Amino acid sequence: MNILLLGSGGREHAMATKIAESTLCDQLYIAPGNAGMNDCGTTVPLDANNFDAVGQFVVNHEIQMVVVGPEAPLVGGIVDYFARSAQLKDVMVIGPSKAAAQLEGSKEFAKDFMLRNGIPTARYKAFRRETMNEGANFLETLKPPYVLKADGLAGGKGVVILNDLNEAKQTLAEMLTKKKFGNAGKTVVIEEYLNGIEISVFVLTDGKHFKVLPAAKDYKRIGDGDMGPNTGGMGSVSPVPFADKEFMKKVEHDIIAPTIKGIHREKLDYRGFLFIGLMNVEGNPYVIEYNCRMGDPETEVVFPRIQSDIVEQMGLAWHQHLTHTALDINPQTAASVMLVSGGYPESYKTGFTIEGLEKITDSTVFHAGTALNDKGEYVTNGGRVLCFTSLANTLPEALLKSYQSAKLVSWRGCYYRKDIGQDLLKYLMKP
Ligand code: AMP
Ligand code: GLY
């Protein structure tokens, strides 16, 4: 079949690589993709949020499956757009409907869903401008640190964590009255702080059944030791050493199963990937957030470990025929290191020639933000530029391979974290 993948980052390059491996895939198109993805498909300059243009392309190129990488087209209703069209309704669009995508699109919706379905999460309340004073009173009932979340999509930047009560009240006021975070902050969720270590869990669901994908940990801050501002992700590791069989059993029983049951009971049309961000609090999982898509840079370590045919699995999900057999997963460890532009996540320049890519032999290179210049050389074209993923029998070996690859590549201002995975080594020593 012909497949169209929407998106342009490292996540989509990792998905494209796996999709292209499938014997079920004839032509793979990636819109808009990036310069590095030409090795697995044809990139096309389409805006994923322009549904008319996407629909027209699908008709013209006889596409049978559309895989949606990022959240924006899903929250914007691409699944509903296809379902409503006589010409497009049989195209398998992999992702949730607009209503189901509210699990990511609205933090208040997601928290209410968790409460209704008995899914462990931090205690919370949502406030609007009219109820700002109640919000300030609610903050007084909580212990610091205080967690304030803009309700809507804010590109991963809508969460503020503060230690000082007065500062928290002031930030609440700025979010509700001064549009800090724009319309995304018209409603603010205030919640209890969860103290633990984070893990990203992924499932492919047909709205009733589910398959658990490998779990991963990502590294969000720019600096070593988790210092500095948040980024789109600086590296990732899968599997996660502290997520042993016992913990994953709890995740499946306490979190995944009731989530999918809730989706089914509430008649949400969800046929795609669900990303559950969890906090491990003393061995028990609590949901921090749902995302209606795969994670980035987690996909860069999760997808390389999947040995089952992902196109077949996505097709089964769309047809609501997912079975309970487990996916085939490579037991090795995958570790990824993200190379970014100097200055990122604040301002940075692009267009620098990338040297040394041809020397990489021990890692898979996923392009996150590259372009080709008029000499046909790869140049930087984003904050996050390249992701190096390596597989090995142990976490230290996988990390070593990715770091050795990182050393071979350079451009002006290239930066990467040097401590990916280091916090996990202690769990490997556990008896
Ligand atoms: P979110 O956008 O909901 O994923 O939040 C962004 C980040 O803020 C998360 O990845 C966590 O590191 C942190 N965070 C969010 N909610 C909480 C919470 N209730 N307790 C502690 N940390 C949190
Ligand atoms: N890595 C976190 C995300 O994709 O939202």
The whole-number mean pLDDT for each consecutive block of 10 residues of the chain, a chain of 431 residues, reads 98 98 98 96 97 98 98 98 98 98 96 97 94 95 95 86 96 91 88 96 98 97 95 97 96 98 98 98 97 98 98 97 90 98 97 98 98 97 98 98 98 98 89 50
392 CB under 6 A from ligand 1? no
Q: Name the closest ligand to CA 148.
A: 1
Strand order in the sheet with 384-392: 217-218, 235-238, 333-340, 384-392, 364-367
CB 346 within 8 A of CB 415: no
pLDDT given at position 430:
60
Distance, CA 13 to ligand 1 centroid (Å)? 26
191 CB under 6 A from ligand 1? yes
Q: At 210, which amino acid appears?
A: F
Q: Name the closest ligand to CA 277.
A: 1
pLDDT given at position 178:
86
Distance, CA 214 to ligand 2 centroid (Å)? 15
277 CB under 6 A from ligand 2? no
pLDDT given at position 323:
84
pLDDT given at position 173:
94
147 CB under 6 A from ligand 1? yes
233 CB under 6 A from ligand 2? yes
Pocket test for ligand 1, best of 288, 290, 291 (most atoms within 8 A of CB): 288
Q: What is the dihedral of CA 222, 223, 226, 228, to 10 degrees?
A: -70
What pTM did the predictor assign? 0.95
122 token code pair: 């931090």
193 CB under 6 A from ligand 1? yes
pLDDT given at position 149:
94
DSSP 247-298: HHHHIIIIIIHHHHHHHHHTT--EEEEEEEEEEEETTEEEEEEEESS--TTT
CB 281 within 8 A of CB 195: yes
Distance, CA 380 to ligand 2 centroid (Å)? 22
State the SS3 of 338-377: EEECCCCCCCCCCCCECECHHHCCCCEEEECCEEECCCCC
**Bridging pattern class, strands 2-7 and 63-68:** parallel
Q: At 357, which amino acid appears?
A: L
pLDDT given at position 157:
78
Euclidean distance between CA atoms 179 and 190, whole angstroms:
16
pLDDT given at position 302:
98
Report the alpha-carbon angle 200-410-306, nearest 5. Answer: 30
pLDDT given at position 233:
96
Q: Name the closest ligand to CA 121.
A: 1
pLDDT given at position 155:
78
pLDDT given at position 199:
98
Euclidean distance between CA atoms 343 and 339, whole angstroms:
12
Angle between helices 165-177 and 132-141 (to 10 degrees): 160
243 CB under 6 A from ligand 1? no
Q: At 75, which amino acid appears?
A: V
Residue owning the nearest CA to atom 16 of ligand 1: 288
Angle between helices 310-318 and 10-21 (to 10 degrees): 100
pLDDT given at position 156:
73
Q: What is the DSSP letter of 2?
A: E
Closest-lying ligand 1 atom to the alpha carbon of residue 220? 10
Neighbour-count burial for 208-217, b at 16+ CB within 10 Å, e otherwise: ebbbbbbbbb
159 CB under 6 A from ligand 1? yes
Euclidean distance between CA atoms 63 and 6, whole angstroms:
13
Sole residue written with tokens 């996150």 = 368
